[in-house]
Structure 1
Protein backbone atom coordinates (compact mmCIF):
# COMPACT_ATOMS: atom_id res chain seq x y z
CA UNK A 1 0.00 0.00 0.00
CA UNK A 2 1.26 3.45 -0.88
CA UNK A 3 2.20 5.99 1.78
CA UNK A 4 0.54 8.66 -0.33
CA UNK A 5 -2.99 9.84 -0.94
CA UNK A 6 -4.61 9.61 -4.35
CA UNK A 7 -3.41 12.32 -6.76
CA UNK A 8 -6.14 14.57 -8.13
CA UNK A 9 -5.85 13.33 -11.71
CA UNK A 10 -9.06 15.05 -12.80
CA UNK A 11 -7.81 18.36 -11.39
CA UNK A 12 -4.48 18.01 -13.20
CA UNK A 13 -6.30 17.17 -16.45
CA UNK A 14 -8.62 20.17 -16.08
CA UNK A 15 -5.75 22.49 -15.18
CA UNK A 16 -3.71 21.45 -18.20
CA UNK A 17 -6.78 21.94 -20.41
CA UNK A 18 -6.85 25.61 -19.29
CA UNK A 19 -3.26 26.10 -20.44
CA UNK A 20 -1.62 26.03 -23.89
CA UNK A 21 -1.24 22.50 -25.25
CA UNK A 22 2.55 22.83 -25.27
CA UNK A 23 2.45 22.82 -21.46
CA UNK A 24 0.95 19.32 -21.31
CA UNK A 25 3.48 16.53 -21.68
CA UNK A 26 4.35 13.30 -19.88
CA UNK A 27 7.37 15.10 -18.36
CA UNK A 28 5.12 17.88 -17.02
CA UNK A 29 2.69 15.35 -15.59
CA UNK A 30 5.49 13.43 -13.88
CA UNK A 31 6.78 16.63 -12.29
CA UNK A 32 3.30 17.67 -11.14
CA UNK A 33 2.72 14.29 -9.55
CA UNK A 34 6.19 14.03 -8.00
CA UNK A 35 6.05 17.52 -6.50
CA UNK A 36 2.52 16.96 -5.22
CA UNK A 37 3.67 13.79 -3.49
CA UNK A 38 6.74 15.52 -2.10
CA UNK A 39 4.89 18.59 -0.86
CA UNK A 40 1.66 17.14 0.53
CA UNK A 41 1.44 13.48 -0.37
CA UNK A 42 -1.86 14.53 -1.97
CA UNK A 43 -3.26 14.36 1.54
CA UNK A 44 -2.95 17.89 2.93
CA UNK A 45 -4.35 20.96 1.18
CA UNK A 46 -2.95 23.09 3.99
CA UNK A 47 0.58 22.79 5.26
CA UNK A 48 0.65 20.91 8.55
CA UNK A 49 2.99 23.43 10.20
CA UNK A 50 3.12 26.48 8.02
CA UNK A 51 1.23 28.84 5.78
CA UNK A 52 1.32 27.00 2.44
CA UNK A 53 -1.87 25.93 0.68
CA UNK A 54 -2.98 23.51 -2.00
CA UNK A 55 -1.53 20.07 -2.73
CA UNK A 56 1.54 21.79 -4.19
CA UNK A 57 1.93 23.93 -1.05
CA UNK A 58 2.10 27.49 -2.36
CA UNK A 59 2.82 30.46 -0.13
CA UNK A 60 1.16 33.79 -0.87
CA UNK A 61 4.33 35.86 -1.14
CA UNK A 62 6.36 33.09 -2.77
CA UNK A 63 5.01 30.86 -5.51
CA UNK A 64 1.64 32.58 -5.85
CA UNK A 65 3.09 36.06 -6.22
CA UNK A 66 5.87 34.72 -8.42
CA UNK A 67 3.49 33.07 -10.89
CA UNK A 68 1.28 36.18 -11.00
CA UNK A 69 4.13 38.53 -11.84
CA UNK A 70 6.60 36.42 -13.88
CA UNK A 71 6.67 37.44 -17.55
CA UNK A 72 6.36 33.81 -18.68
CA UNK A 73 3.28 33.08 -16.57
CA UNK A 74 1.43 36.27 -15.64
CA UNK A 75 -0.96 36.41 -18.61
CA UNK A 76 -1.67 32.70 -18.37
CA UNK A 77 -2.22 32.98 -14.62
CA UNK A 78 -4.73 35.79 -15.20
CA UNK A 79 -6.60 33.62 -17.70
CA UNK A 80 -6.68 30.70 -15.25
CA UNK A 81 -7.94 33.00 -12.50
CA UNK A 82 -10.69 34.29 -14.77
CA UNK A 83 -11.70 30.76 -15.73
CA UNK A 84 -11.83 29.73 -12.06
CA UNK A 85 -13.59 32.96 -10.94
CA UNK A 86 -10.70 33.83 -8.63
CA UNK A 87 -9.35 37.38 -8.18
CA UNK A 88 -6.03 37.87 -9.95
CA UNK A 89 -4.26 38.88 -6.76
CA UNK A 90 -1.84 37.02 -4.54
CA UNK A 91 -4.33 37.05 -1.68
CA UNK A 92 -7.22 35.97 -3.91
CA UNK A 93 -5.33 33.01 -5.35
CA UNK A 94 -3.82 32.05 -2.01
CA UNK A 95 -7.22 31.96 -0.30
CA UNK A 96 -8.64 29.72 -3.07
CA UNK A 97 -5.80 27.19 -3.35
CA UNK A 98 -6.97 24.82 -0.65
CA UNK A 99 -10.51 24.86 -2.07
CA UNK A 100 -9.73 24.60 -5.80
CA UNK A 101 -7.45 21.74 -6.87
CA UNK A 102 -7.68 22.80 -10.54
CA UNK A 103 -6.36 26.26 -9.67
CA UNK A 104 -3.61 24.70 -7.55
CA UNK A 105 -2.57 22.31 -10.33
CA UNK A 106 -2.56 25.12 -12.91
CA UNK A 107 -0.38 27.30 -10.68
CA UNK A 108 1.96 24.36 -10.10
CA UNK A 109 2.36 23.93 -13.87
CA UNK A 110 2.81 27.65 -14.34
CA UNK A 111 5.51 27.75 -11.69
CA UNK A 112 7.39 25.03 -13.57
CA UNK A 113 6.89 27.08 -16.78
CA UNK A 114 8.76 30.02 -15.24
CA UNK A 115 11.98 28.01 -15.22
CA UNK A 116 13.85 28.74 -18.48
CA UNK A 117 15.31 25.23 -18.75
CA UNK A 118 13.36 22.42 -20.41
CA UNK A 119 11.65 19.99 -18.09
CA UNK A 120 13.87 17.07 -17.08
CA UNK A 121 13.70 13.96 -19.21
CA UNK A 122 11.43 11.30 -17.80
CA UNK A 123 13.51 9.08 -15.56
CA UNK A 124 16.16 11.72 -14.78
CA UNK A 125 15.43 11.79 -11.07
CA UNK A 126 18.42 13.99 -10.23
CA UNK A 127 17.48 16.69 -12.75
CA UNK A 128 13.88 16.53 -11.51
CA UNK A 129 15.07 17.02 -7.93
CA UNK A 130 17.24 19.94 -9.01
CA UNK A 131 14.30 21.63 -10.74
CA UNK A 132 12.15 21.19 -7.67
CA UNK A 133 14.63 21.87 -4.87
CA UNK A 134 17.28 24.22 -6.23
CA UNK A 135 17.11 27.67 -4.60
CA UNK A 136 15.51 30.33 -6.77
CA UNK A 137 14.37 27.94 -9.51
CA UNK A 138 10.83 26.86 -8.79
CA UNK A 139 9.70 25.59 -5.39
CA UNK A 140 12.88 26.15 -3.41
CA UNK A 141 11.45 24.30 -0.40
CA UNK A 142 12.50 25.68 2.97
CA UNK A 143 13.00 22.21 4.38
CA UNK A 144 13.72 19.88 1.48
CA UNK A 145 13.46 16.15 2.12
CA UNK A 146 15.75 14.53 -0.47
CA UNK A 147 15.30 11.06 1.02
CA UNK A 148 11.57 11.16 0.17
CA UNK A 149 12.08 12.27 -3.43
CA UNK A 150 12.91 8.87 -5.01
CA UNK A 151 9.67 7.32 -3.70
CA UNK A 152 7.68 10.36 -4.78
CA UNK A 153 9.23 10.31 -8.23
CA UNK A 154 8.75 6.55 -8.70
CA UNK A 155 5.09 6.89 -7.72
CA UNK A 156 4.71 9.76 -10.19
CA UNK A 157 6.17 7.62 -12.97
CA UNK A 158 3.72 4.85 -12.12
CA UNK A 159 0.77 7.26 -12.02
CA UNK A 160 1.60 8.71 -15.41
CA UNK A 161 2.46 5.32 -16.91
CA UNK A 162 5.91 6.52 -17.84
CA UNK A 163 8.88 4.20 -18.03
CA UNK A 164 11.65 4.91 -15.53
CA UNK A 165 14.13 5.33 -18.39
CA UNK A 166 12.72 7.03 -21.46
Structure 2
Protein backbone atom coordinates (compact mmCIF):
# COMPACT_ATOMS: atom_id res chain seq x y z
CA UNK A 1 0.00 0.00 0.00
CA UNK A 2 1.25 3.40 -0.92
CA UNK A 3 0.59 6.47 1.17
CA UNK A 4 -2.15 8.77 -0.09
CA UNK A 5 -2.35 11.26 -1.58
CA UNK A 6 0.07 9.98 -4.19
CA UNK A 7 1.60 11.32 -7.37
CA UNK A 8 0.83 9.78 -10.75
CA UNK A 9 4.50 8.85 -11.09
CA UNK A 10 4.49 6.99 -7.77
CA UNK A 11 1.28 5.13 -8.63
CA UNK A 12 2.70 4.20 -12.01
CA UNK A 13 6.00 2.91 -10.59
CA UNK A 14 4.83 1.27 -7.36
CA UNK A 15 1.32 0.10 -8.28
CA UNK A 16 0.56 -0.06 -12.00
CA UNK A 17 3.85 -1.51 -13.26
CA UNK A 18 3.85 -4.31 -10.64
CA UNK A 19 0.17 -5.00 -11.37
CA UNK A 20 0.81 -5.30 -15.09
CA UNK A 21 3.59 -7.74 -14.25
CA UNK A 22 0.91 -10.09 -12.88
CA UNK A 23 -0.86 -10.17 -16.23
CA UNK A 24 0.12 -11.48 -19.67
CA UNK A 25 2.82 -9.29 -21.22
CA UNK A 26 0.61 -8.15 -24.10
CA UNK A 27 -1.63 -6.30 -21.61
CA UNK A 28 1.22 -3.95 -20.66
CA UNK A 29 1.22 -1.18 -23.24
CA UNK A 30 1.82 2.56 -23.01
CA UNK A 31 -1.86 3.11 -23.82
CA UNK A 32 -2.91 0.82 -20.96
CA UNK A 33 -0.60 2.63 -18.56
CA UNK A 34 -1.95 6.03 -19.57
CA UNK A 35 -5.56 4.90 -19.24
CA UNK A 36 -4.91 3.39 -15.81
CA UNK A 37 -3.28 6.57 -14.50
CA UNK A 38 -5.93 8.81 -16.07
CA UNK A 39 -8.83 6.76 -14.71
CA UNK A 40 -7.35 6.68 -11.21
CA UNK A 41 -6.90 10.46 -11.35
CA UNK A 42 -10.47 10.90 -12.57
CA UNK A 43 -11.99 8.48 -10.07
CA UNK A 44 -10.08 8.94 -6.81
CA UNK A 45 -7.67 11.77 -7.52
CA UNK A 46 -5.10 9.38 -6.01
CA UNK A 47 -6.38 10.59 -2.64
CA UNK A 48 -8.73 7.86 -1.38
CA UNK A 49 -9.51 4.16 -1.66
CA UNK A 50 -13.10 4.51 -0.41
CA UNK A 51 -15.56 6.55 -2.43
CA UNK A 52 -16.79 9.50 -0.41
CA UNK A 53 -20.48 8.87 0.16
CA UNK A 54 -20.54 5.82 -2.08
CA UNK A 55 -19.81 2.12 -2.39
CA UNK A 56 -16.81 2.16 -4.75
CA UNK A 57 -13.43 0.81 -3.60
CA UNK A 58 -9.81 1.26 -4.63
CA UNK A 59 -7.95 4.00 -6.46
CA UNK A 60 -10.04 3.08 -9.53
CA UNK A 61 -13.30 3.20 -7.54
CA UNK A 62 -14.81 -0.12 -8.62
CA UNK A 63 -18.20 -1.17 -7.36
CA UNK A 64 -19.12 -4.65 -6.17
CA UNK A 65 -20.82 -5.99 -9.37
CA UNK A 66 -17.66 -5.44 -11.42
CA UNK A 67 -15.89 -8.32 -9.68
CA UNK A 68 -18.62 -10.80 -10.57
CA UNK A 69 -18.63 -9.61 -14.18
CA UNK A 70 -14.87 -10.15 -14.45
CA UNK A 71 -15.12 -13.63 -12.93
CA UNK A 72 -17.79 -14.58 -15.46
CA UNK A 73 -16.22 -13.03 -18.56
CA UNK A 74 -14.30 -15.43 -20.84
CA UNK A 75 -11.83 -12.66 -21.69
CA UNK A 76 -10.83 -12.14 -18.06
CA UNK A 77 -11.78 -15.17 -15.92
CA UNK A 78 -8.48 -17.05 -16.12
CA UNK A 79 -6.44 -13.90 -15.54
CA UNK A 80 -8.65 -12.85 -12.62
CA UNK A 81 -8.07 -16.21 -10.98
CA UNK A 82 -4.31 -15.92 -11.55
CA UNK A 83 -4.21 -12.42 -10.06
CA UNK A 84 -6.29 -13.54 -7.09
CA UNK A 85 -3.93 -16.44 -6.46
CA UNK A 86 -0.84 -14.23 -6.72
CA UNK A 87 -2.30 -11.68 -4.27
CA UNK A 88 -3.85 -14.24 -1.85
CA UNK A 89 -7.39 -13.08 -2.56
CA UNK A 90 -10.18 -15.63 -2.90
CA UNK A 91 -11.68 -15.49 -6.41
CA UNK A 92 -15.04 -14.60 -4.92
CA UNK A 93 -16.64 -11.28 -5.85
CA UNK A 94 -17.11 -10.11 -2.25
CA UNK A 95 -13.53 -10.94 -1.25
CA UNK A 96 -12.21 -9.23 -4.36
CA UNK A 97 -14.32 -6.14 -3.66
CA UNK A 98 -12.91 -5.78 -0.14
CA UNK A 99 -9.34 -6.43 -1.32
CA UNK A 100 -9.56 -3.30 -3.47
CA UNK A 101 -9.34 -1.28 -0.24
CA UNK A 102 -6.17 -2.92 1.01
CA UNK A 103 -4.18 -3.98 -2.07
CA UNK A 104 -3.43 -1.28 -4.63
CA UNK A 105 -1.60 -3.68 -6.94
CA UNK A 106 -4.61 -6.00 -6.96
CA UNK A 107 -6.88 -3.00 -7.68
CA UNK A 108 -4.69 -1.92 -10.61
CA UNK A 109 -4.72 -5.42 -12.10
CA UNK A 110 -8.51 -5.51 -11.80
CA UNK A 111 -8.74 -2.10 -13.49
CA UNK A 112 -6.58 -3.35 -16.36
CA UNK A 113 -8.78 -6.41 -16.75
CA UNK A 114 -11.86 -4.19 -16.97
CA UNK A 115 -10.26 -2.41 -19.92
CA UNK A 116 -9.16 -5.75 -21.40
CA UNK A 117 -12.78 -6.97 -21.54
CA UNK A 118 -13.72 -4.12 -23.88
CA UNK A 119 -13.55 -5.57 -27.42
CA UNK A 120 -12.42 -2.21 -28.81
CA UNK A 121 -8.70 -1.39 -28.80
CA UNK A 122 -7.41 1.09 -26.27
CA UNK A 123 -7.15 4.68 -27.53
CA UNK A 124 -3.97 5.76 -29.27
CA UNK A 125 -1.58 7.74 -27.11
CA UNK A 126 -2.65 11.37 -27.07
CA UNK A 127 -6.23 10.73 -28.24
CA UNK A 128 -7.94 12.39 -25.30
CA UNK A 129 -11.40 12.24 -26.89
CA UNK A 130 -11.30 8.49 -27.61
CA UNK A 131 -9.83 7.95 -24.15
CA UNK A 132 -12.82 9.78 -22.66
CA UNK A 133 -15.21 7.54 -24.60
CA UNK A 134 -13.31 4.45 -23.40
CA UNK A 135 -13.41 5.64 -19.79
CA UNK A 136 -17.12 6.44 -19.88
CA UNK A 137 -18.01 3.14 -21.55
CA UNK A 138 -16.00 0.98 -19.16
CA UNK A 139 -16.44 2.85 -15.86
CA UNK A 140 -19.92 4.29 -16.33
CA UNK A 141 -19.28 7.14 -13.89
CA UNK A 142 -22.37 8.46 -12.13
CA UNK A 143 -20.88 11.97 -12.10
CA UNK A 144 -18.54 11.95 -15.12
CA UNK A 145 -16.91 15.43 -14.79
CA UNK A 146 -15.89 15.85 -18.45
CA UNK A 147 -14.14 19.14 -17.71
CA UNK A 148 -11.59 17.29 -15.53
CA UNK A 149 -10.70 14.60 -18.10
CA UNK A 150 -8.36 16.56 -20.42
CA UNK A 151 -6.14 17.63 -17.51
CA UNK A 152 -6.16 14.17 -15.93
CA UNK A 153 -5.38 12.53 -19.25
CA UNK A 154 -2.59 15.02 -19.98
CA UNK A 155 -1.07 14.39 -16.54
CA UNK A 156 -1.28 10.63 -17.11
CA UNK A 157 0.30 10.89 -20.55
CA UNK A 158 3.15 12.98 -19.11
CA UNK A 159 3.70 10.47 -16.28
CA UNK A 160 3.95 7.56 -18.72
CA UNK A 161 5.95 9.25 -21.48
CA UNK A 162 8.14 11.43 -19.24
CA UNK A 163 7.10 14.64 -21.00
CA UNK A 164 5.69 17.82 -19.52
CA UNK A 165 1.88 18.08 -19.52
Q: Does TM, scored on the shorter chain, surpass 0.5? A: yes
Q: Which residue of 2 aligns with 1:42?
A: 46
Verify the 8 A CA contact 1:122 1:163 in the aligned structure 2.
no
5+ long unaligned stretches in structure 2: none
Runs (4+) of structure 1 moved beyond 2 Å?
Answer: none
CA distance in 2, matches of 1:112, 1:44: 21
1:153 corresponds to 2:153 = yes
> 1:54 offset after TM fit, Å?
0.3
Q: Which residue of 2 aligns with 1:97?
A: 100
CA distance in 2, matches of 1:60, 1:70: 15
TM-score, L = length of structure 2: 0.91
1:23 corresponds to 2:27 = yes
> Number of aligned pairs?
157
> 1:162 offset after TM fit, Å?
6.1
Q: Which residue of 1 aligns with 2:16?
A: 12
The C-alpha deviation readout for 1:55-77, integer Å capped at 9, x for no partner, is 0001111x222222111001100
CA distance in 1, matches of 2:73, 2:23: 16
TM-score, L = length of structure 1: 0.90
Q: What's the secondary structure of 2:139's corresponding residue?
A: coil
CA distance in 1, matches of 2:7, 2:61: 16
Shifted more, 109-118 versus 6-15: the winner is 6-15
